[in-house]
Amino acid sequence: MSIRRSTNSLGKYRVKRDFSRTREPAGRKPGPRLRKGHSFVVQKHAARRLHYDFRLEMAGVLKSWAVPKGFPTARGDRHLAIEVEDHPLEYRDFEGTIPEGNYGAGTVMVWDKGTYDVSGGDSLRALEQGKLHLTLEGKKLKGEWTLVRMRRSDEDDKTQWMLIKSGNDMPPLSARAESHSAATGRTMEQIASAKKKSEWQSNRTSGRAVASPARTIPGRASARTKTRGQDARAPRASLPRSAPSPTPLKLSLPRLPKAKPGFIEPMKALLREDLPQGPQWIYEIKFDGVRTLATKTKGRVSLTSRAAKDFTDKYSPIAFALRNLPAKDAVLDGEIVAVDAKGRSSFQLLQSYLAAGAEKPPLFYYVFDLLVLDGQDFKGLPLWQRKAAAQALIANLSPIVRFSASLAGNPSRLVQEMKGRGLEGMVAKLKDSKYEPGRRSGAWVKFKWTSEQEFVIGGYTKPQGARSHFGAILVGYYQDGQLLYAAKVGTGFDQKLLASLYQKFQTLRRPDCPFANLPEQRIGSSGAGMTASRMKSCTWLDPKLVCQVRFAEWTRDNHLRIPSFLGLREDKKPKEVVKERPV
């Protein structure tokens, strides 16, 4: 049967759905074939696995593909697209929750919408021939993509296609654009928690929809737990008007000084060569994420980096979960992490959480301190008392907010156990210590068995071979106010990351070298030396960007051996980046 005849069939779509149990549209009789300027929609769908549904209006129906990894954004990148059944035209406005027990159960967002053109002008003929060169004009997706049909697999009854980025690279989307609906301005969390009458948002243009309060779940989820909608970003807004105020937490504490909620520079840990021992110390896991203060005031929750940058929109599921803190105002100290299947935090995974269109790893906020609560200053209390109050405060929140518990046992055995689990280090804290904002007093210390730290990017080299954009980044650290070169980092990048970093670099280009110790006289035993001849192929940058780098060790000539790029850091100022030396 030809594609031209079969496109009018919504039979498969209707057979799979019970419209008395789902608010998905049943669809009217397919309309006539449209002229040039068809509409398209991309729906973000948190079903068993998060994916994106790409739908093209064609011959009165929506031709549809499931795209597990979202849209490629760098020229030449390709993602799998699986052809699924035709959907009715009304489905382009569907945004809501498909109830459990139904086909495709989960939350659906209208992630993008707009119009498309197909090369040659005849979309049905291009579809029949198995190649559609598309130009999309959406609210988010603008540019060229190509859908190419591959051979049908004998083991799979669904036709597989490749979605390829054609034309120019697409600029990275902002965190807000990636996480909010193109139709209503809502996030996945807001859509999932909306009342049943809001499940189908037909032709709705207002972004003022208010989510009902999310149900809190006592206890802690396992490392493998991933609540529905968790990978989508949630609202920054204040508590919904319809939500009852959380019952304030009652604690038996001495009279404390008054304090207003606001930014407090986080206390810092001193790097040591070993883990201190004794009953005066408590031990915690060292997380591989971003240090974050969570502040609740006047019903609003904000997330702030240690460099006072706003993280609320980037990690809005955390802010959304913290809205139910049983306090009028509070300031928490903790770390936002993304975890792998074994529950291990990973800074690289956290970077993939922020990537446009990427499959999102589980996200958590580990709380390890409480600084302000209901107008009272907790910083002068001993650590053990602050931790007990923090644990009680977050006990009944969403499982994505977790407590960083103290670890009991012999320090040497704890280190061996944590190493065996693939973790990167531990933190020791004096249990009676006060909170010292911005200080690295030694009351908190960190012990790492992996070599990893922040560096400042000061330039890049030309690409070689098949690599595009750049070959390696040049990184360094500050010492006595001068930026010193440390290494050339050429691994840890994929094509999408190369493109996005290159775009950031272009606004920072400068004619002269920012490193005070270049050129070097010799390449050195590590091969990382930057001589005058090597510098001729470099492009120099203002030292504004901070990145995380993992490496094997420091060499005798102060270079990094086997460095690998992990991601950009927005939680640290460049001038704060120094060579970490254990004491």
Residue tagged 């650590």 (tokens): 383
Whether residue 295 is found in the same domain as residue 418: yes
* 217 lies in some domain: no
Q: What is the average per-residue pLDDT within 483-494?
A: 93
Residue 76, pLDDT above cutoff 50:
yes
* 510 lies in some domain: yes
* 140 lies in some domain: yes
pLDDT number for residue 250: 58
Decide if 86 contacts 29 (C-beta within 8 A): no
Domain count, the chain: 3
Cα-based distances in Å from 443 to 225, 379, 393, 436: 34, 14, 24, 9
Q: What is the average per-residue pLDDT within 352-370?
A: 83
Q: Which of 146, 166, 198 is the last residue of a domain?
A: 198
* 224 lies in some domain: no
Q: What is the average per-residue pLDDT within 373-402?
A: 94
Beta bridge partners of 50: 46
Residue 274, pLDDT above cutoff 90:
no
Q: What is the average per-residue pLDDT within 166-190?
A: 86
Whether residue 309 is found in the same domain as residue 393: yes
Length of the chain: 583
CATH at residue 401:
3.30.470.30
Residue 233, pLDDT above cutoff 60:
no
Q: What is the average per-residue pLDDT within 34-55?
A: 83
* Most confident by average pLDDT, 65-74, 328-337, 517-526: 328-337
The token duo for 448 is 């790492």
* 241 lies in some domain: no
Q: What is the average per-residue pLDDT within 369-374?
A: 96
Decide if 55 contacts 92 (C-beta within 8 A): yes
Residue 109, pLDDT above cutoff 90:
yes
pLDDT number for residue 235: 31
Whether residue 440 is found in the same domain as residue 486: no
Angle at 107 between CA 103 and CA 111, to 5 degrees: 115
Whether residue 348 is found in the same domain as residue 432: yes
Q: Which of 446, 473, 504 is the last residue of a domain?
A: 446
Residue 391, pLDDT above cutoff 70:
yes
Cis peptide upstream of residue 519 (ω within 30 degrees of 0) = yes
Whether residue 420 is found in the same domain as residue 475: no
Whether residue 54 is found in the same domain as residue 152: yes
How many helices (H) and strands (E) in the chain?
11, 27
Is 448 an active-site residue? no
* 346 lies in some domain: yes
Q: What is the pLDDT of residues 507-516, one digit of tens each?
A: 999 999 999 9
Q: Which of 44, 140, 286, 572 is catalytic?
A: 286
Whether residue 378 is found in the same domain as residue 471: no
Cα-based distances in Å from 354 to 173, 464, 568: 10, 28, 11
What proportion of the chain, given as a percentage, has pLDDT over 70? 84
Residue 152, pLDDT above cutoff 70:
no
- Please, what is the average pLDDT of the chain? 83
Burial label for 523, CB within 10 Å (0-12, 13-18, 19+), is middle
CATH at residue 498:
2.40.50.140
Nearest to 60 by CA among 91, 82, 84: 91
Whether residue 442 is found in the same domain as residue 459: no
Whether residue 48 is found in the same domain as residue 170: yes
What proportion of the chain, given as a percentage, has pLDDT over 90? 54
* 550 lies in some domain: yes
Residue 203, pLDDT above cutoff 80:
no
The token duo for 188 is 């996945």
Whether residue 403 is found in the same domain as residue 511: no
Q: Band the pLDDT of 234: cuts 50, 70, 90.
A: very low
Whether residue 285 is found in the same domain as residue 155: no
Non-local CB neighbours of 136 within 8 Å, separated by 6+ positions: 40, 114, 115, 116, 142, 143, 144, 145
Output the CA torsion 515→519→521→522 (10° steps): 70
Q: Which of 167, 198, 229 is the last residue of a domain?
A: 198
The dihedrals phi and psi of 558, each to the nearest 5 degrees, come to 65, 40
Domain that holds residue 138: 3-198
* 422 lies in some domain: yes
Residue tagged 């972004």 (tokens): 207
Residue 151, pLDDT above cutoff 70:
no
Whether residue 8 is found in the same domain as residue 157: yes
